[in-house]
Amino acid sequence: MDAMITAENLTKRYGNRAVVDDVSFTARPGRVTGFLGPNGAGKSTTMRMLTALTTPTAGRGTILGRTFRDLPNPGRHVGVLLDASAQHVGRTGRETLLLSAQLMGTGPHRVDEVLDVVGLTAREASARTRTYSLGMRQRLGLAHALLGEPEVLILDEPANGLDPAGIRWMRNLLRSFADGGGTVLLSSHLLLEVEAVADDLVIIGNGRILARGSTEELLATPGTQVRSTDDGALAGALTGAGHDVVRTGAGLSTSATTEEVGGLALAAAVVLTDLRPAASTGLEELFFDTTAQHGREEISA
């Protein structure tokens, strides 16, 4: 089975209000897909529909080519962390994992393996989860997601409560999982961390897709930065050819491609001393530019 997540026209309405409205995207094997949007955008509802916790009003979500409900022993194929606080507070961390391991048929040895992977000590694993900090709950939730050795991870805000070292550890773990052929769908408000780990991005607002594509493509800025021995002459050649030109402290910024700049410089007998594509925009800038009209901070979805 191809370890792919596919949302096909997913829609969820409550009365006349569409919380998720015709959402379609694909998360592919070997890649981390960042799933972003302001509060109330519909991220959590979409993830809940993909994992059969919420029934779509319309559309379909599949994982490994099947709906979540149709997957045999789904925990062996899909690791899910949507709410780290949803744990039995009377059980220890180890008891929580042992029960799931028994249901999945993984054996108790896997419990020790995932506890080691997520960095929970034997003492911490033996404590009741009611005593856990948020960061420890996140680590236990991720241990549970990894327990069945899945091909797919669906994670909603997995870095909440982690300190900087924990966030870096999380990033490395997800990168390693994807590099091993796994599929990761990651929702997070930590935009710099998403930018550092995500291969693809899906941005939604008011329940609708606003942008999707590879991180490289979405963050790329068209145009060229250039410096020459005669920026004035080069600027004249560029504007004469119909390109936008802005003088910067480091030379010129232009809408022309690097090839077009090179050709015009050659024709104008201007020597180039620096020529490069325009610097990429950051994810934070892309996010706020894309979602500026779609923030609904007062609603949680």
Parallel, antiparallel, or unpaired: how do β-strands 251-254 and 152-156 relate? unpaired
Mean pLDDT of 277-281: 74
Report the C-alpha dihedral over residues 201, 202, 205, 209, rounded to 10 degrees: 140
* 188-245 pLDDT, tens digit each: 988 989 999 999 999 999 999 999 999 988 887 778 889 999 999 999 999 999 998 8
Exposed, middle or buried, 44 (CB in 10 Å: 0-12/13-18/19+)? buried
298 confidence band (pLDDT: 50, 70, 90): very low
Domains of the chain, start order? 5-216+285-291 (3.40.50.300), 221-277 (3.30.56)
Q: How far is CA 259 from CA 171, 214, 236, 266, 298, in A?
A: 37, 24, 17, 11, 48
CA distance 11 to 23: 7
Q: Give the pTM.
A: 0.81
Give me 246's structure tokens. 């802005």
Query: Could you report the per-residue pLDDT of 48-64, keeping only the tens digit for each?
Result: 999 999 999 999 999 99
User: In this model, does residue 257 exceed pLDDT 60?
Assistant: yes
Alpha-carbon distance 110 to 150, whole Å?
12
Q: Please, which residues bridge with residue 128 across strands?
A: 92
